[in-house]
Structure 1
Amino acid sequence: MNDFQPMTVLREDAHAERAWLASLVGTNDTNTITLDLTKFTSGVHYEPPTAWEPRATLKSGIALGKITASGLYAPYSGVSSEVQSVTITGSPTGGTFTLTYSGQTTAAIPFDAQAIQVQQALENLSNIAEGDVLVDGQPGGPYYVRFAGALAGTDTAALTASGAGLTGGSSPGVTIATPRAGGNVAGTDGTEVFAGLLAQEVLFAPGSTKATGPLLWFGEVYANKLPVSFDPADVTSVAPGVNIHYR
């Protein structure tokens, strides 16, 4: 049974470094854990020391897993689903483009298509089933294609595109990039099981190998504001008791 205590916010920036936190409810439900600092990467997981702050700053909101052998915590290393971006260049004013996946080409897609239209065009291919891709983005792009369903957690084939049907603008075209490769499982050391999020920043001296911090295992967060790329839809294994909801 949880013993919730009233909270009075004395400063509006009291949780300024936790922009990913969607609700203060549940922030008292943290466990004190020990972090294996040798597993964290400068510039990705923590800010290196500066002349003004001689200690390194581990970012709050990092997804964590527990190393089975040591009992220490390190960055979560579960499966990642691939994300590819589709960007229309040259500011076209009309026309269409197509996307090709593993030899199969979509029907013509309007230059200012909604994301759902791009998703449906891909799902109509014989080698992509409904639910195998999820597309986000604004009309006219860029569009972000996340591979899901049967293609989740795999290193998928790269999309290719043709902008030959685009009109207007200045030499319009379509470019494809891969912001996040799929299938990168770091190992079987236990960190592939999601254990929660680092609830607040942790300062540590350069050269330190361990530090303590609070593990958030119950609460509500904005997944897109977490400091390190993390898609909760990719999580396939969760530690017992973890109950985090995402917006």
Structure 2
Amino acid sequence: MSIQPISRSSTYTANRDWLASLHGTDQTETITLDLSKFTAGTHYAASTDPVQPYSRFLSGVPVGRITATGLYGLWNKANTDGTQLFAGVVFAEAYFAPGQTRVPAALLWHGVVHAAKVPGGPLNPADVTLSPTSAQIRFV
């Protein structure tokens, strides 16, 4: 019996249509996403490929920090768990393994974003409550 290594590659193009300027992209922060707070097909692309099982969290998703855990969930102005405060958007696509519930990601907290091109639907800038600890994002 012999073992024959097999190599396979895939190419993905990051969709950053939501990014209006490179301003602030050199100052991202590392965060951990709570995957249970997001929707497959809208906020992340779940892999169906048995050879390459890693799923892909999309860039541009607006997030807020969950007060109880320190993890980040989908930003929603109606929530009361801390995610009602806009922390920023996920800057780069993040890959994660099957069964993973926490995903490390880069947070764009300072920059310029096309509100109409945010994944999951347009973001209404008027819904963002500004505070001294919220993101410094300008929406166009």
TM-score by length of 1: 0.48
Deviations 1:66-91 (CA, angstroms, capped at 9, x unpaired): 0000000010011xxxxxxxxxxxxx
Following TM superposition, by how much is the alpha carbon of 1:53 offset from its aligned partner in structure 2, in angstroms? Answer: 4.0
Higher strand share: 1
Is the CA contact 2:85–2:134 (under 8 Å) kept in the aligned structure 1?
no
Deviations 1:94-148 (CA, angstroms, capped at 9, x unpaired): xxxxxxxxxxxxxxxxxxxxxxxxxxxxxxxxxxxxxxxxxxxxxxxxxxxxxxx
Q: Would you say 1:210 and 2:102 are equivalent positions? A: yes
Q: Match of 1:28, SS? A: coil
List alignment gaps of at least 5 residues for structure 2: 1-12
Q: Which runs of 4+ in 1 moved over 4 A?
A: none
Against the structure 1 CA distance between its residues 203 and 238, is the aligned structure 2 distance closer, same or farther, given a 3 Å change threshold? farther
Structure-to-structure mapping, 1:218-229, within 5 angstroms: 218-229=110-121
Is the CA contact 1:195–1:239 (under 8 Å) kept in the aligned structure 2?
no
Q: Would you say 1:55 and 2:54 are equivalent positions? A: yes
1:151 aligned partner = none
Following TM superposition, by how much is the alpha carbon of 1:50 offset from its aligned partner in structure 2, in angstroms? Answer: 2.5
Q: What do you get for the CA RMSD once the two structures are aligned? A: 1.7
TM-score by length of 2: 0.82
Is the CA contact 1:59–1:227 (under 8 Å) kept in the aligned structure 2?
yes
1:233 aligned partner = 126
Structure-to-structure mapping, 1:27-46, within 5 angstroms: 27-46=25-44
1: CA distance, partners of 2:92 / 2:132: 20
2: CA distance, partners of 1:238 / 1:61: 21
List alignment gaps of at least 5 residues for structure 1: 1-14, 79-184
Against the structure 1 CA distance between its residues 72 and 207, is the aligned structure 2 distance closer, same or farther, given a 3 Å change threshold? same
Following TM superposition, by how much is the alpha carbon of 1:228 offset from its aligned partner in structure 2, in angstroms? Answer: 1.6
2: CA distance, partners of 1:207 / 1:239: 36
1: CA distance, partners of 2:132 / 2:117: 22
1:21 aligned partner = 19
Is the CA contact 2:14–2:93 (under 8 Å) kept in the aligned structure 1?
no
2:83 aligned partner = 191
Against the structure 1 CA distance between its residues 65 and 228, is the aligned structure 2 distance closer, same or farther, given a 3 Å change threshold? same
2:72 aligned partner = 73
